[in-house]
Amino acid sequence: MLYVEKPHRRFNPLTREWVLVSPHRAQRPWLGQVEKTPSERLPAYDPDCYLCPGNSRAGGKKNPDYQGTFVFDNDFPALLPPDASGLNEGQKPAHVDQRIFCAEPVSGICRVVCFSPRHDLTFPELDITEAEAVVRTWIEQTLDLAKIADIAYVQVFENKGEMMGCSNPHPHSQIWSTNYIPNQPAVELASLLDYQVEHDRCLLCDYLRAELDSSERVVASNDAFTAIVPFWAIWPFEILVISHRHVGFLPELDVAEITALADIMQQITIRYDNLFEISFPYSMGFHQSPVNGASYPQSHLHAHFYPPLLRSATVKKFMVGFEMLAMPQRDLTPETAASRLRAMPAVHYRHQEV
């Protein structure tokens, strides 16, 4: 590819932002912060864990003796339901200039999804049936939250590892539903709509076809989903998962696609863990159609994986300086990252024969 070994910038058509790519810096010496290596083994059950079956949570409620996935309303939610948020209470002060000091009340419901009763099994270590159960739970919860009045968007996400701010090692994800469309989905939906209006086609459908044709940045693929290190990736081993069929909403997936989604996510996360032979940290989330009653034909279901590790299990990428004040920058090219991930074994390193 042109410029691949020289400094250049790449355009992200989803966010309509640029990223600076500096391949010549990949070999620079590192004398900065070194992270602690994550602990390798957790117990199957931890009596002090507030997510394990039968234990009391931080808010005082006791978990049932659950055997599969377990969902509960977050005991310390970032959002409150409409009836508790005070949406209709009070008026904006007349003396405040709303053009400058603009604020508004929000509401929502935040839930936690435990993957299984096992304290020690992350998503790549589940069997495929357990992984499918997690996907089905995400779908069921999306449908349940979408029925609630005033909910406009359902955000399914997972923060894995202390490095990503995960407050409890028991494998779990979260679902935050909001009475508004959050920033990132809103930006992407606007870009997807503009592309559809201009070209009468879907941006992500076109992008997926182009990536499959070249295969340079494809990490894994099955009958229904493909995982790609996107051309415009910011994080070193960032991955974009795109559905082959043009669907906008997790609940639109059929039975085969649910299995395929669980499979592709395991293919990704196993490769992540094998890369540095640790439980690989990341933030992952789905972008899907809003649930505010409007039509979004431009929406195309996809998931973002944003992992922070750069060179090893103990060296992570920092977003500071130029990246905070000007634009994102990366040293490792997406093509190199995809090649390294593709080369990883499909079997988790803990299960490989010695």
- Rounded Cα gap, residues 245 and 231, in angstroms: 21
Using the CB atoms, write b or e for 256-276: b if 16+ within 10 Å. ebbbbbbbbbbbbbbbbbbbb
Per DSSP (E only), the strands in the chain are: 8-12, 17-21, 70-73, 108-114, 153-160, 172-178, 218-221, 225-228, 239-243, 282-287, 302-306, 309-312, 315-316, 329-330
In eight-state DSSP terms, residue 120 is T
The answer to whether 172 is a known catalytic residue is yes
Burial label, 294 (beta-carbon count in 10 A; 0-12, 13-18, 19+): exposed
Which string of DSSP letters, residue by residue, matches 254-269? -HHHHHHHHHHHHHHH
Task: Identify the active-site residue in 24, 95, 170, 172.
Answer: 172
**Looking at the DSSP assignment, which residues form a beta bridge with residue 200?**
none
Calculate ∠ Cα 158-159-162, nearest 5°. Answer: 155
Within 10 A of 10 (CB to CB), how many other CB atoms are there?
18
Which positions are annotated as active-site residues?
172
